[in-house]
Amino acid sequence: MKELLLLLLLVTEASSRSHSSWCQRGCECRGDLKFTVCSGALFSQLPGRVPPNTELLDLSDNHISVIPRRSFGRNRKLRFLLLQNNNVSVVEDGGFSQMEFLQKLDLSRNRISTLTEGFSVGLALLRELQLAHNRLTSLDSRSFLHLDGLQRLNLSSNGIRTIQVRSFSSMSSLRQLHLQDNSLRSLRSGTFSMLRSLEVLNLAGNQISDMQTAVFKPLTSMTLLNLADNRMSTVHFKTFLGIHAYSTHILLEENPWNCDCDLQRVFRKLRSIQRLFLDDYYNLTCEEPAVLRDYRLTDVDTELCLAETVTVLVITVTVLVTVLAAMLMGERKRKREKKRNHRLTGAAT
């Protein structure tokens, strides 16, 4: 009885896998052929036979290295395409064209070093693009030209050093931009222009030391700006004052702060702005001056302006003393003259 049940189970299991002529060996085609899973199948190129009804195609963990032109022309119903952890270095122009229903494309952990204009052709409805752990070093105005509907872009852990102005200019729907763990050194005004829907901007783990004052100004929806683990030693008040979102949380930990009176003043002013939240302010530590290294900014901030306060005090006291002395001298002189006048008039009478 037990064996029979087991056999029955096995038979139904086998038939539900449906190895139809449409399903390539190494893949599993399930759910009315809507899910085609070819993960870890040792493929070195894209499979030839994928059921045309497929909505989710999982090709992760293979050795695919080239995406030829119009690779998915027969799979127009695809909504999710997973290609992470392959060996992709070349996406031919139009490699993903004719995919008008594609919502998510995962290309993370590949070897992509350039994105040509042809890369994004036909991906106008794509909502999520994962490109983390590739070999990109620069982005330009053509990299994402046709991604009008994109909401989430993950570019973390590449080697991105330069981002040309207008690189993201087609993406007015973008809500999350992940650029952490790259090699950015500075941020130029105009880099994030047009990103008026952007809510999350993650720039942690770069080498950013300077930013143009107007760089965050266009980001009127930003709720989280992560600048932790960069090379900032100081910050200009206007750079953050220019963020005109309703409320924005800013992370600034693990930067080599130069704890001087100017820094203390800037932070005091920033913290008084109602729409900005410096969430990790109590975690900021000093790198300069050497005597304050590794001290928390909050533990020393009352003393940072002390030297200046003392100077101001000394000057004030000096001025006061001088004025007082002058007044005293004047008074004494007046009295002496009064006395002399007295004596003179006394002698006359």
Q: How far is the CB of 211 from ligand NAG (least distance, A)?
A: 21
Q: How far is the CB of 66 from ligand NAG (least distance, A)?
A: 8
| Cβ-based nearer residue to ligand NAG, 132 or 263 | 132
What is the C-alpha to C-alpha distance for residues 150 and 140, in angstroms, rounded to an integer? Answer: 17
- Phi/psi-derived region of residue 104, left when phi > 0, alpha when psi is between -120 and 50, beta in every other case: beta
Q: Of 220, 104, 222, 218, whose CA–CA distance to 169 is shortest?
A: 218
| Cβ-based nearer residue to ligand NAG, 63 or 271 | 63
What is the C-alpha to C-alpha distance for residues 137 and 164, in angstroms, rounded to an integer? Answer: 11
What's the gap between Cα 187 and its chain centre?
Answer: 11
Q: Strand 28-30 and strand 35-37: pairing?
A: antiparallel
| Cβ-based nearer residue to ligand NAG, 87 or 341 | 87
Q: How far is the CB of 122 from ligand NAG (least distance, A)?
A: 22
What is the C-alpha to C-alpha distance for residues 264 and 272, in angstroms, rounded to an integer? Answer: 13
Q: Which residues bind ligand NAG (CB under 6 A)?
A: 44, 63, 65, 87, 89, 108, 132-133, 154, 156, 176, 178, 253, 279-280, 283
What is the C-alpha to C-alpha distance for residues 45 and 64, in angstroms, rounded to an integer? Answer: 5
| Cβ-based nearer residue to ligand NAG, 18 or 137 | 137
Q: How far is the CB of 203 from ligand NAG (least distance, A)?
A: 14
What is the C-alpha to C-alpha distance for residues 183 and 66, in angstroms, rounded to an integer? Answer: 27
Q: How far is the CB of 156 from ligand NAG (least distance, A)?
A: 5
| Cβ-based nearer residue to ligand NAG, 44 or 318 | 44
